[in-house]
Structure 1
Amino acid sequence: MTATPHLPLGTHLLADLSGVAPARLVDCSQIEQLLREAAQAAGAQVLHGHFHSFGPGMGVTGVLLLAESHISLHTWPEHGFAAIDIFMCGAAQPQRALDIIIDALQATGCAVQNVRRAPAG
């Protein structure tokens, strides 16, 4: 497969999701599947993923490495909270990925920072 060159321009979304049912924030395999679906919906290519549970009923941390950059997630089920980090360059659409994640987690609150990334100069 030939890699598609990407310009060093992109969108970096930082999202704090609140009001999430704790059961939605503890299963590594479900969270990984969700992030993979979100990446696909955004038009991104997944290169590798790694997810870790901190134990039964505890939070999850995980990352998908993308050809376009990454999606990461950290959860705190005891607070109904998830921190999401989505950075994508090229034609990928990070907002689509975030919308999928918010909908699946059924977050009641969402604070988003949207940062344009580009070389200085």
Structure 2
Amino acid sequence: MRGVAGGEAVVVGRHVYGNLYDCNSEVLRDEGRLIQIVRNAAKIANATLVSVNTYKFGANGGLTVFAIVAESHISVHTWPEHAFATVDVYTCGNTDPEAAFNYIAKELGAQRVEVFRGDRSLRR
């Protein structure tokens, strides 16, 4: 792989992120369930879970669930009133961020998924 300036680029991380539409709104509101989904996603990615934090936006609002993994992070942001969520899985090393992203999309009941992929590269 060649960098912009013509030097070699070494992929150090892979980022899979996207938008999930027409999700199950009850799951999007369920803090405990979302925490478990993110924990399971870390296992599926072959990532080492360090911590999970959440933030709830009002009594019936959405949630942010953010996991620190030794290899980087996994985040889920929900808007249950729109049956919508965004997901980021960024990892390095011998991991599978795509499998984790797909698992989260399935567990949230997404009927339509927009997924984006990017390599994080070290330019030499």
The question of a shared fold, defined as TM-score above 0.5 by the shorter chain, is answered with yes
Which residue pairs with 2:91 in the alignment? 88
Which residue pairs with 2:68 in the alignment? 65
Structure label with greater radius of gyration: 2
- Which of 112, 115, 118 matches 2:115? 112
Q: Which runs of 5+ in 1 are unaligned?
A: 1-6
- Which of 98, 101, 111 matches 2:101? 98
TM-align CA RMSD: 1.3
List aligned pairs for 1:32-47, cutoff 5 A: 32-47=35-50
Structure 2 contact 17–101 (Cα < 8 Å) conserved: no
Structure 1 contact 27–53 (Cα < 8 Å) conserved: no
Percentage of identical aligned residues: 34
Q: Give the residue type in structure 1 aligned to 2:115.
A: V
Q: Which runs of 5+ in 2 are unaligned?
A: 1-9
4+ long deviations beyond 3 Å: none
The alignment's TM-score, normalised by the length of structure 1, stands at 0.90
Structure 1 contact 48–64 (Cα < 8 Å) conserved: yes
Residue 56 of structure 1: how far off its partner (Å):
2.7
SS state at 1:12 partner: strand
The one-character-per-residue Cα deviations of 1:11-44 (angstroms, maximum 9, x if unpaired) are 1011100011211101111101100001101100
